[in-house]
Amino acid sequence: MKGSKMKSEIADNLQKINASLEGSNARLIAVSKTKPIAALLEAYEAGQRAFGENKVQELVDKHEALPKDIEWHMIGHLQRNKVKYIAPFIHLIHGVDTEKLLIEINKQGEKNERIIPCLLQVHIAREETKFGFSPEEIHKWLDTQPLDHLPHVSIQGLMGMATHTKDEGQIATEFSDLAHLRNELKQRYQHERFSMTELSMGMSGDYPLAVANGSTMIRVGSTIFGVRHYPNQP
């Protein structure tokens, strides 16, 4: 009975979140990191097809074990030497935070004869620890017409994480800043592989604010699958 109860909970949670997205431009990426295959399958059976993971090995293992019509999203910090493992099949890399990483993704895209879709991660939070470009860095970089030299990547938009705070005004400001930056960049640089249509923002704690500010992809984990347990933490 425990199994069947959990099953309906995951399906229920997905349904509630999807209902809350109706009328918006946002869709749900189910963040399944640390969760077992069985939990992902329950979500799959409930109709979920987009999953996000933040560790390359775990993503590769789950890709092998699960149905092939799943879209896999790499949402975590990606090391250059690991791009090759996901390059053949990854649907979208959310956290591109350096030009060097993009050059490696381009190289692996060429090897796999595909164009790999990416989002640029932008540092929007006031916290110091988060990865990402500053808006100024992206502006400067676009002056170099970078995609002319990167034929195997496309940049579909931006990704950001808001400050972890209870101050909803601050979170909303950070999300709307990211939305404005997306619009500004889209105007400024026209390239067939620079669509700037996507805004990956919003997690379990703040996705309603992200959706209200124009998110097109929310990355939600614990609200679907329950809290995560990490082996090295009590």
Ligand X SMILES: *Cc1c(COP(=O)(O)O)cnc(C)c1O
Interface residue list for ligand X (CB under 6 A): 31, 33, 54, 75-76, 203-205, 219-223
Q: How far is the CB of 77 from ligand X (least distance, A)?
A: 9
Which CB, 24 or 222, lies closer to ligand X? Answer: 222
Q: How far is the CB of 32 from ligand X (least distance, A)?
A: 10
Whether the CB-CB separation of 178 and 196 falls below 8 Å is answered with no
- CB atoms < 10 A from the CB of 81, how many? 9
* Closer Cβ to ligand X, 93 or 147, answer by number: 93
Helices and strands (H, E) in the chain, number of each type: 9, 8
Minimum distance between the CB of residue 225 and ligand X, rounded to whole angstroms? 8
Q: Which helix (H) or strand (E) holds 21?
A: helix 2-21
If the CB atoms of residues 18 and 222 are measured against ligand X, the closer one turns out to be 222
Q: How many CB atoms lie within 10 A of CB 135?
A: 18
Q: What is the separation, in whole angstroms, between the first and last Cα of the chain? A: 28
- Residue 74 Cβ vs ligand X, minimum distance, rounded to whole Å: 10
Q: Considering beta carbons, is residue 119 or 147 the nearer one to ligand X?
A: 119
Q: What is the dihedral of CA 196, 197, 199, 200, to 10 degrees?
A: -100
**Distance, CA of 127 to CA of 15 (rounded, Å):** 33
73 vs 152, beta carbon nearer ligand X: 73
- Chain residue at closest Cβ approach to ligand X: 221
Please check whether residue 170 is in contact with residue 209, taking contact to mean a CB–CB distance below 8 angstroms: no
Q: How far is the CB of 223 from ligand X (least distance, A)?
A: 6
